[in-house]
Structures are given as structure tokens and as C-alpha cells.
Structure 1
Amino acid sequence: MAAKALNVLIVDDEMPLRQELRLFPWEECGAVLIGEAGNGEEALQQIESQAPDVVVTDITMPIMDGITLIRELRRRHPAVQIILLTCHSDFRYVQEALRLGALEYLLKVSMDEVEMKQALEKVRAAIAKDRHSRDSEKSERRLQQAALFGKLLHGREPDEAEWRQLGLDGTGRRVLARIVLHAPNPAYVAAKQRLQHALNDIEGTVGSGISWLSVTEKEYFVLLPADEAGDAQAETMRGILQALTACLEEGLREAEHAAAAHAIVSGPFAGGKELALALARTNEWKEALFYDGADAGGVFAGSPLPLADMTDKHAKEMQEMLRKSGRSPESLKDCLQNGFFEWCAERRFRPQQLKQRMLGWRVDWLKAQDAAGLGGAGIERLLEAGTLREMTAALQGEIEAIESGSRRPRFEIRAATEWIQENMKQPISLPILAEHVGLSPQYVSRLFREETGYSVGEYITRLRMERAVELLRGTNKKVYEIAEEVGIPSYRYFTVTFRNWTGVSPTDFKRQH
């Protein structure tokens, strides 16, 4: 790919020299002449609107000389590179200019095409070095800010030095936008890359007032200046989202997979404590959107409708509703789509609590169907559902898959899954499993994923977590006893794995059930 042409501005009070430089073969040097000025003051006015990469300037000029111009450029536009045009008698000024940050100097009396080309190549190298340095600094700052947001999301208080990383000193007001990416797995990687590129473009185009970071894979946090009043900030975010959505649609059109994003925008804040409150408010919206939906390109601000805790009484009512409708797959699917959906939407339970109750119901239902561990939707789709409709659709899909037998794998894989279930308490590895079914480890690995949609390791972990949910709900065994029974003797590893799968610790899950 051809390098971007350098934008050049000439500054000299001598008209003959400017005329000579107009005729210089800039294109052959990978550059373009975008303007000229007769003194430093005129040059500064043009730089504000033209944004040159390099300024080729004389030293001795009326009104504002080259030395003063260089000082102003270093203060106002430090990224602009500077090439000096000078006479022999100006050498002491050349030393001062180089000390202030000029990159190269050329003698007017002997300047030729080769020297200018060499100077421009030096400019190009300096710009690339500066860009790399700025990108590295930006990446490091983004990682530090992401760590700070991670602390906030887990309810921990950052220290004073960490607050300063966000530039929240109480003087300037900001607004937080939480962008959530919606993309199916086949298109997710491409969507994520395009979203990040679009955010980088917006960050670079709009200026230093906007910065973004990511803590989790499908969420991005954008800090915007809060100079605007009322709903204007939400309108700004809508414009950004439109650009992001257009970028996603353009990049994924050939893949035939829809991708979109929505944003939750906080009120203005100045200090770190206010940021923590703003982030908590976006959490409230994120939970509320489980019921209120998250339209593509939608921007949500203000206060959402409240949510309610799911009590044991509610859980019993839910279980009875699903039990009565479970006489046939059709009646159960109809209940999930209509009666159950309306019941949940009216009561607006906290999504995590509802999902945990549904997780327990799912384990019981699969066991009753003699399909434990073989459900099509699995724990992942239930727990990752962004809306109530997505959750019920995942469960409906699971019912349909088991009903049609579409998940019934080949004989070798059925034998493998049965053996895994019978030997769950023991250490299980791919070579041991392959030996049992009489196939090579490589072939078992490929066939297992093709037939079940999971790797052998993923399937074993999923089966163990489903069994752990069943034991935590239906027995009085200690957590460490359940960990051993499902084949994970390390209490700490079991606790971490269970939390990753269900969103809560085994102890909290057992207490709730």
C-alpha cells in the first residue's frame, strides 16, 4: 500500500523562492504542496485550517520570524515537522532552531532536488516514529484505564493515582457511554475488529476529548467531553453509533451475518466518585434492557424502569407454571413464548437471578428427558442471553433439537459421552477417551466437535458444571464434596470455573436455591 502523501506548507517572505518551490516535483517525493505564507503569523493561521505534516520555513522574516514560529509550533502543534531554509549568515539561528526541535536545514543558495527529497524522507521517518510512540503510549494508557474500569465493575475502589489515569481532576466534565456489540459467533471477530477500527478513527478525528477502552469482549466504554447541554450529548452518541453501525454493516455484508451496537449514556460527571456512580447507572440500564430490548443503534439515557428480586415464592410459582405446561414439547414451547414470557416481563426480575433459577429448571428438565448434557442451547446460550426473548428462544431451540433428535450423535460419540458421564469423577483426557472408543485422539477430537459442537474438554467441563448445579440444588453436600464428586478435586479451581459458567459462586448458588 502506498504511503500517505506528506502535506507541505512553505513559509518565506521572498516571492522568487516561493515561486521556485511551487515548481518543485513534490509528487515524485511523495508529497503535496498545500499552501504558502509570507511570515510566521500567516503560517500559523493556515496551519490551523490546513493541518500540514511538514513546514518548510525561512528564519529571517518580518512580523513573525522563523524562530518564533518554531516555538509556537512546538507549543501548539508538536506533531508538525520542520525543515529550515537558511543562508550561511544565519547559522547561529540554525543552531537555536535545531535546539527547539527543527528536524533538518537546507541552504537556500545550494538547495537542490536531492537534498529536499532526503529531508522529506527524514520527515517521513520522524512522523512514523512519533506515530508509533503515540500509539504505544495510547495502548498502555488504554490498558491502565481498562484495569481501573475492571476494578469499578467488580465493586473495588481505585486509588488516587489510578483516578489520575483518566484525567478526572474535577476541572473538566465528562460523559460515559457504554457500547454493547451484538454479533453472532461467525461474525464476531470481524465485527470486533471493525468496531475497534471505527472507534480509533473517531478518537483521532474528533480529538483528544474522546477516548475509548474495553474490559470485556463485547463491551466498550467511551469517555466524551460534556460541553454540551441537555440531550445534545445523546445526539452526539447517536451520530457515533450510526457511524459504527454503518462500518459493521459494510464489513459484514458479504458474510450475511447481522451486527449492530447500542449505547447507554450517563449524565455528566467530573470526579472519580461520580464516574463510579455513572458506571453503576449504566449497569442498571444494562439489566433493564433484558426486558426493554436493545434496538440496533439505540441510545439509552436517564433512569430505567426498576427491577425486582426473585424470591423463593416466585421460583415456586415459575416451577409450577413450567411443570403444568411440560406435558408436551409444544405446550412447553408455547408457555415459554407467551405465558412465561409475559409473567417475567411483568415482574421484571433481575436477569442474573432469573437465569440462575432457569438454569436449575433446565437441568431438571433435561434429566427428565434423559438428555442431560446433550441439550443444544446449553448453559452458555442461557446465561449469555442479552434479552428475555433471547433466553426463551434459546430454551425453545433446545426443546426442538431434542424433540427432533437432531443432536443425536454417531455411535462412537454416543459411546464416548456415555463413558464420560459414567467416569466423571475420574481424571479424563483425550488419549484415554480415544483408547476407550478405539479411535485415534486426533480423529476423536475432530469428530467430537463436529457431532456435539464442543471440544472434548469443553464438553467435560459443561457436563461437570451441570452436575454441580444439580447437586447444589438437590443435596446438602458441602461444596468441596461436590467438587470432588464432579471430578474437580481443587476447591479453588472448581469455584472459579463455576463462577465463570453461572455468574455466581457455588456457595451463593446453593444459598439461593
Structure 2
Amino acid sequence: MINIMIVEDDKLVRKGLISLMPWADYGMKVTCEANNGEKALSLLETTTIDLVITDISMPVMTGLELMEAMQERFSHIPVVLLTLHQTFDYVQKALRLGAIDYISKVELDHDNFDDILIRIQQKLQDVRKTTTKDQQKEYFDTDEAYVWLTRKEEGELSDTAIHQVGHSPLIVREDVYMWILEKGQQDQLRQRLSELHETHPTASLCHLTGIQGKSLQEVRQALMAYSSHAFYYDFSPSRCFSDLSFDQLLASSVKDDGQEESIRSALISLQWIQDAELLDKVLHDWKTQSFPPSRVDQQVYYMVSEWNRVYSPVVEQTIHYPGSFAYWHDVKQWFYRTQNVWRTALAKPTLSEEVKACIYRAVFIVNDELSSPIHAEYVSKKVNMSRSYFSQCFKEAVGMTFNDYVRFVRIEKAKEYLANTDKPVLWVAEHTGYSDHKYFSRLFRQQVGVLPSVFRQQQREGEKNDN
């Protein structure tokens, strides 16, 4: 009996397929069902399935995304795509991802049920015959291959591009292709791939070694893991070919050794603005942590938010979050551009670079220790300046006295707490450096024009009107 999983978000369609099609007549049985690809993956962990029939358009995870995810652990399970999309592009993409067939929903009526199941049955028999033959070639007998890697957003190589290379690749995933190197082919294949790379600058070519004796599944999984993580850090637009061993594919992993907080603090403090070597060192330390790309994006977003919160009121410069980065190379280039933006924004001709670095370090300290008592003498010592000279330079660089700046930052933070939390005024006062909440309320009223409780009420009423 062939065990089948139906994956379809439309309950009526899903139940109709299960109940109306004559599965048993063709040695088939619907063992389980799912309403999206993510649920289907979960069921595959615990259920023996011989065939997956999946819709293409679903929330959470589409049918094509499910097929891509299955390649990592369930590549042995055949897939039939159920779709309204009959365009050539959709069909080609599905077949390249391993679909053995596709069913157009317009075919689904009683007159066609038997024809559909006969076709699927024949496809399954063909797959089993092919699998039996390929089992004899399960392990690579050559040691080298060329691998093409690019971003998923770039999409798969076109048939024209593959034809240009002149050799058929093993498609690991839509963004990962592998050409097995046979004797006498290496130079010609390398030349053609180099020519193809000229029109695909965001791709990378690797000379992969060490695969002899490895199974297709081992190499496929290692390449997919590498392309999802380490390739993000290894990519260089100035390099067409790079050497990569199979052991290197397996070695990529997160090396978090607790430096994340120190790296983040160093970048937020802007000490690197006038120190190119410091920026290079911090970026190098950050790269060695090998965080997942999504985590790098989150860290940059946090830094941009902190920069704008701490420094924008002082220098009238806003840094915009650039969105997700394709590669680590892009992260570095963005920081170098941002360094120049900050240099221009922080330019004060009458102050030395060393003094400016000290003053903006002081700005960071004020914002970082806002809930504690903060005095000019304490901060001036932390930045290695005399109190009188510090006060003079601070006013020139920031545009207000040190005490006025501390008061400004505390009130702004209090406004943020009042608008976005339900914490009592006493709590807000304590967390913005005021031990006497009555004094805090009087000062808040002087600066803002209303008491803290009234300010909060106005903010809530404004939100209601907006909604």
C-alpha cells in the first residue's frame, strides 16, 4: 500500500480529494493531511509517507517551499504538485525541485480521477526503477566538482544559461548547482562557468574537493547547510573561483563566545568613527562569531535604533536601516559608508578628533547609565578629561550644557516609558534617574507643559483617534 499525504490549505478541496478519489483501487491510501507546508514537515518526522501531494499556494509555507525543505531530509519521498498555475515557469521550477508530476485543479472531476491515479502510479514505478539503478552509484567515484552558489532571491539558472555551460548539473537547490568533474573536462568547464559568472556577479563559484566516497545525500546536505550560513561570510564579489573542501562544508557553525554584547557596545559608542583600525577589528571580531544572517540583520537594526535615539538629537543626523544584507561583504561596506556619514555629521572644526571621540563617548555613557546618578565630574573622569575642559568642549560639540543634556535625555526617555508602558510614574521617575518622583513630576511639567499622568492620557487618546 502506498501511503499518501495531502497538503492543501482549502479544507473543502482537501477533504474532497481524500473522499472522492478511488485511492484503494490503485494500491494507495491517504494516511494523513496538512493545511500548510510547515505542518506537513512536522508530520513527516513521525509518519511513514511514500508520496506527498501538495498545493502550491498556501499560507505559512508554500508547496515549492515545502519541496525545497524536503530536499534536506526527505528527498527520497516523491512529490506531486497540485496547482492552478499551469505556466511553464511554475512547472519547470516544480520539476527541478524534484516533483514527479503535477495535477491541475481544473482536471479534478470524476471523469479524470482514474486517469490521474494511473499516471501517478506509473510515475512512481518509474521513480522506483531509477532509484534502484542509482543506488549502485550512490557514492561519488570522483573527488572534485564545481559548485555554483548564489542568493535565493536571484532565482535559478535559466535553461539557456545551463545550455551555455554545455554540461548538465546536479541541482542541489534552486540557488545551488554542482557539476561533477570528469577527466578532460575541467579546463573547458571552468572557462564556460567563468564566462557565465560575468553575467551573474552576485554568484560565486567553488572548486569542491574531497567528495570521493561520499554519498549524494551527504554532499547535498552539506552544500545546503553551507549555502545557508557560511557562504554568507565567504562570498567576495572580487573572486570568481574559490577552493572549498568537503570538510570545510561541515565545519561552518556559530562560534558565539560571549563577545556579542562587547561588540555591540563598541559599535553603538561611535568610538570607531575616527578610528579605521578599530572598526576593522570590531567587524573582524563580529565576523568570527559566525552568527546566522538573520541575527546579523537584527543586530544592525538594534544599533541603528540606538544611534538614532542617542545621537540624532545632538547632531541632527538620522541613520536609516538598510534592510536585510545579502552577504557579510555588504555589511562591511555599509559600515564603511556609515562611518563617513557620521564623520561628516560630527565634524567640529575647533575640536580635535581625540576630543570629539571623548565627547561622544560621554553622550553614550549618559544614555547607557540613565537610571543612575550622573554628574559631569564622574563622566569627565571616565573619558579622561578635566571637568572644566570637558564642560567647555561638551557644550561646543553638543550645543547645550552637560546638565541640560542629561535633563533632556531623561525627560525624553520618560516620555517613551509613559507612552509605551503602563508603569506607574514612580517607576518611570526611578528608571530615568530621579529618586524623588514629586520633583520628577514638577520638572516634567516644566519641560513638557503637562504632568506625566496627563501626558500619558494624551498619548492614549491620540492612539484611539488614530485607530
TM beyond 0.5: no
Pairwise TM-score range, normalised by the shorter structure: 0.3 to 0.5
TM-score normalized with structure 2 length: 0.38
